[in-house]
Amino acid sequence: MCHKAVVLALALVLSSLTFAQRNPKQSAAGAGPLASETCAFTFKSGKGFLATQYCVTANGNIASFSTAGVDMLAGVRPAIEGYGICDVTNSQTNYWDFANTDSGNWNPATAVLTNPKTVTVTRTTADGLWKLVQTIASTPASKTNYGSAKITMALTNTSATDKVVLLERHVNPDAGGQFAAAFNNFEATSFTVNAFNEPSGGGTGFTSSANLLTTNFDFQFALILPLPDAPTPCSPGGNTSLFTGDGSMLQEFNLEIAPGATKSAVVTYKPI
């Protein structure tokens, strides 16, 4: 990788870790015409306390995720979950879709149920520079464990230029179906962010983890955001400090992608 490009991307992320500011190149005001919180595919497994269910929109957002009937993404308000791209090389252009809002510069998605446990969602950016293929696979619940959703984001550089890009996955969980400050506690490790609640709120939680064995990145951050909404991809914000309140989770990957090449990042959602 070009040393200058690495320094630029690293400086961009580190300078944004404390304060998330909107990039003027794309506005986050209001939902774009393609944003959707409507479930298109639903996956169920397990019984009783371990019963796990989540759904995927036609755009590749996780719009609901529940255990034993308690929804931790859309139980008390619409889900805020999805993906974002910051094209660092192209003047920090932002692309995002977080279910409740999008950047307005995407083409319509094509979603296909490739097998009973997997949906594949393909989408391109309106400027023709990127193709994102999301493969969302269900790992069924067992007699001793919750089910999970494994999200593989394969990003292809369809331009003629070598590019540095930030690829992200954001989710706003309400642990145990609660979003009040007293019930949501966030903690982060190097590659995982956990949200859990006090026993009075149900005693259940939610985790977002990066799979490093199948992710080809130059550097990566697992971050806690002290707010429910997603930041613009080029201003990710967040930190790794313990936080109690209405927060959210962000997995951030830095990639350099050659023309015509594809690199992938893998994130898994699971109740805890």
pLDDT of residue 110: 95
pLDDT of residue 22: 34
pLDDT of residue 26: 34
Domain boundaries, the chain: 3-13+31-271
pLDDT of residue 3: 42
- pTM greater than 0.85 (yes/no): yes
Which of the four pLDDT bands, split at 50, 70 and 90, describes residue 16?
very low
pLDDT of residue 215: 56
For the residues of 41-101, what is the DSSP string, one character each? EEEEE--GGG-EEEEE-TTS-EEEEEETTEESSSSSS---EEEEEEETTTTTEEEEE-SS-
pLDDT reading at 235 higher than 80: yes
Which of the four pLDDT bands, split at 50, 70 and 90, describes residue 237?
confident
pLDDT reading at 8 higher than 60: no
Quickly list H helices, the chain: 3-14
CATH entry 2.70.98.40 includes domain 3-13+31-271 = yes
pLDDT of residue 34: 78
Cα(253)–Cα(255) distance, integer angstroms = 6
Distances (CA, A) of 104 to 9, 95, 99, 129, 167: 24, 8, 12, 15, 17
